[in-house]
Chains A and B, each alone.
Chain A
């Protein structure tokens, strides 16, 4: 095949081009022709098609995501906001923290191990590109039914992939979630979050400025893996026959990534880079166009200088390749030699592939012939934007009317006891230790808290004890019942989880996993979730710093539950002051903070006991969440509480079981006056937590709650080796432990 140069394209306007096969729509193709004033070359078409895919351009979601910026609360803590590789937050003492969550859903279904592994690799490079040293990862995961045969294929592969890549990199995995629901059958959600730390002055941005500066590609060689992965893998729905299209997935090499991290941090330290971008989805197409678009001028790239693993690759393939472990840096000419020297020291291949020009075009040459000549902004930042039609699904009313509060309840203490054991032993509520034990939690030596604690916490300064806490939460069942409230509940829970450990919530990252944007019902769910999350972020004063949208999570006509996963980052002045979740001291008093209402819609109880999903999710009261957080943080700082655990799915009984099993101590409880024992144990009202208070601090603690107007009910005492609810039932810790810890290994080991 002869080379499709710019000149050739101008001379042959009528050549048929495979725009449809590349995922472009007719009007999108026409717009490309309009922008260029001619037909695109093959290479240009490849670039536009990947960059204008849903995954890269956010064309369906953009109009809704705007709210995160427009409604963003003023925050002194934000150093870099939405739009860069990741947001950056000031955590004090001159430190900045960057964090972001991304999805790697479709690749992880096709090839669980490599899909999940490269998900970690990708998010780590995003964090690295901001100038930060990656210090921890977390993984919110969702799979089909726990006993489904395909879950046995997907889950172990995903867990091994996360563990394999993360452990090799030497990054602790400090938390996340594992949720099972038949709606994720065929569309598992593999989200990955990374946290990085730097000094304020170390922040780097993805822009190519300064005419004459060199463009350096460094890291792994470019191969034929994941070609078109972005447009094909991430933006097309699987049909019912399963993954018939099996494009080459990417295989990662964590040891190469480790070298890339150390090499990149060293070039940062010597101040050798002007701008930097990681290569992820859409590979070089994305990196060159985004760098040029954000910079001052144009860029010229000699594509034939790119080091290849396979010499037969065409220029289009090189532009689209998603080979892992690559970065692109903009370097002043005088610093190139030193840059290359450092790369050589780390055994990292580095090549000058082009330079920044004073024009305003991105020009790419192949053996001297021009194959791309485009305005970079039209590729990277001015892609199509769709106002997709959305409409509240017809079934929504019926679903909300199917009230879970009306389901048959346990009649007596014996039935309560039996249902408690079933609940804490159900796959979603059971201990996930079998999974998290496959990850290295303590490497680097700064992990203060990890799963199953409310949030992961890491120390970032060994002298002062400054640390950050991160939690991720999302409840697709709540969001299905009411996406607006469901998204707010995800934020509220994550926020509460961070506060429960004693850290002050500062900022938010989100991974929005939804069905097809071409379905008005799924689009409505997405729009409502964005609106809910943006409103709640404004009220709580925690801006969204960045994140990721994953659409088309559906098989045939069946979409997943709308699943907004929300990560919250908080700061704690001294990690020695943290609050763990374990009830470890006999005689301490157990207080329930917040109001318990009859709220069972979408609850774990309704799922486990009745296989039911209907009614309304719990109410959200963000002012209450803020107050609860303030109390938890003050109590932690002043040493008034020894343990705290947030109440969410599974309600009080779940939280109590976890706190008691972790501390190895039982608890004797009394149902507060006026509360039904069943509602007390199983309701999932938001804005609640349990704490254990030393007797010496009781007065101080209750005075503080009283003065601030937070309901605090003394519900019992830490004691013995059973959980006993007076007048109802008693269950030994041994029996609880068996129920809670045996489930996952029995299903998956």
Chain B
């Protein structure tokens, strides 16, 4: 099984109140030097069968229509590389 990761972020021009709340909290907690925080969502999809172009196209479509609200959000799709663990 392969894992495909879909990252969904608010578009850069869109206000991110949650990210701002985190950023405002940082100096209060003693963490300096962070100028901006943007918060997003990460989906991990466990895919049955091979992750070929077809599968990626379907995932792209489901991300576009379901996982992300493309009016205000952007998304990226990537296959997560996992190290092969060979049984001893």
Contacts and interface: CB of A to CB of B under 8 A. Distances in A.
Given A110-B71, A111-B69, A248 B17 contact: no
B71 A225 contact: no
Interface in B9-28: 10-17, 20, 24
Contacts of B11: 248
Contact of B71 (A111, A252, A347): A111
A693 B34 CA distance: 69
B28 to A, nearest CB: 11
Contact of A251 (B12, B17, B70): B17
A220 to B, nearest CB: 7
Interface string A682-726: 000000000000000000000000000000000000000000000
B17 A255 contact: yes
4 closest A-B pairs by beta carbon, nearest first, are A224-B13, A253-B17, A251-B15, A111-B71
A249 B17 contact: no
Given A111-B72, A248-B72, A249-B71, A225 B14 contact: yes
Interface in B52-75: 69-72
A638 interface: no
A252 B12 CA distance: 15
A451 interface: no
B71 A309 contact: no
A114 B72 contact: yes
A671 B11 CA distance: 63
Interface string A42-63: 0000000000000000000000
Contact of A249 (B16, B20, B24, B72): B72
A224 B12 contact: yes
Interface centre among B11, B13, B69, B72 (most CB of A within 10 A): B13
B74 to A, nearest CB: 11
A253 B24 CA distance: 14
A550 B13 CA distance: 26
A246 B71 contact: yes
Nearest to A256: B17
A309 B11 CA distance: 13
B69 A251 contact: no
B17 A309 contact: no
Contacts of A324: 15
A246 B73 CA distance: 12
Given A110-B71, A111-B69, A111-B71, A250 B15 contact: yes
A493 to B, nearest CB: 36
A312 to B, nearest CB: 9
B10 A251 contact: yes
Nearest to A309: B15
A324 B15 CA distance: 9
Contacts of B12: 224, 310
Contacts of A225: 13-15
A220 B11 CA distance: 18
A354 interface: no
Contacts of A309: 15
A227 B12 CA distance: 13
A249 B24 CA distance: 24
A256 B18 CA distance: 11
Contacts of B17: 251, 253, 255-256
Contacts of A246: 70-71
A57 B78 CA distance: 47
Contacts of A310: 12-13
Nearest to B71: A111
A246 B15 CA distance: 16
A248 B15 contact: no
B47 to A, nearest CB: 28
A220 B71 contact: no
A407 to B, nearest CB: 43
Given A223-B14, A251-B17, A347-B24, 8 more contacts: A114-B72, A224-B12, A225-B13, A246-B70, A248-B11, A253-B20, A256-B17, A309-B15
A323 interface: yes
Contacts of A248: 11, 13-14, 72
Contacts of A114: 72
A689 B42 CA distance: 56
A324 B14 CA distance: 11
Contacts of A255: 17
A582 B24 CA distance: 50
A253 B15 CA distance: 8
Nearest to B13: A224
B70 to A, nearest CB: 8
A606 B53 CA distance: 55
A223 B13 contact: yes
Interface string B69-85: 11110000000000000
A246 B69 CA distance: 12
A220 B16 CA distance: 11
Interface string A245-269: 0101111110110000000000000
A306 to B, nearest CB: 15
A270 to B, nearest CB: 26
29 contacts: A110-B71, A111-B69, A111-B71, A111-B72, A114-B72, A223-B13, A223-B14, A223-B15, A224-B12, A225-B13, A225-B14, A225-B15, A246-B70, A248-B72, A249-B14, A250-B15, A251-B10, A251-B14, A251-B15, A251-B16, A251-B17, A251-B72, A252-B15, A253-B15, A255-B17, A309-B15, A310-B13, A323-B15, A347-B24
Contacts of A256: 17
A252 B13 CA distance: 13
A223 B24 CA distance: 17
A427 B34 CA distance: 52
Contacts of B72: 111, 114, 248-249, 251
Contacts of A227: 13
Interface string A114-146: 100000000000000000000000000000000
A246 B13 CA distance: 13
A36 B70 CA distance: 41
A65 B16 CA distance: 39
A114 B70 CA distance: 13
A255 B16 CA distance: 12
Contacts of A249: 14, 71-72
Nearest to B69: A111
A51 B13 CA distance: 22
Contacts of B10: 251
Contacts of B70: 246
A648 B69 CA distance: 40
A63 to B, nearest CB: 36
Interface string B40-56: 00000000000000000
Interface string A278-315: 00000000000000000000000000000001100000
A320 B42 CA distance: 33
Nearest to B20: A253
Nearest to A252: B15
A227 B11 CA distance: 14
Nearest to A325: B15
Nearest to B16: A251
A64 B79 CA distance: 60
Contacts of A110: 71
Contacts of B15: 220, 223, 225, 250-253, 309, 323-324
A309 B71 CA distance: 19
Interface string A68-79: 000000000000
Contacts of A223: 13-15
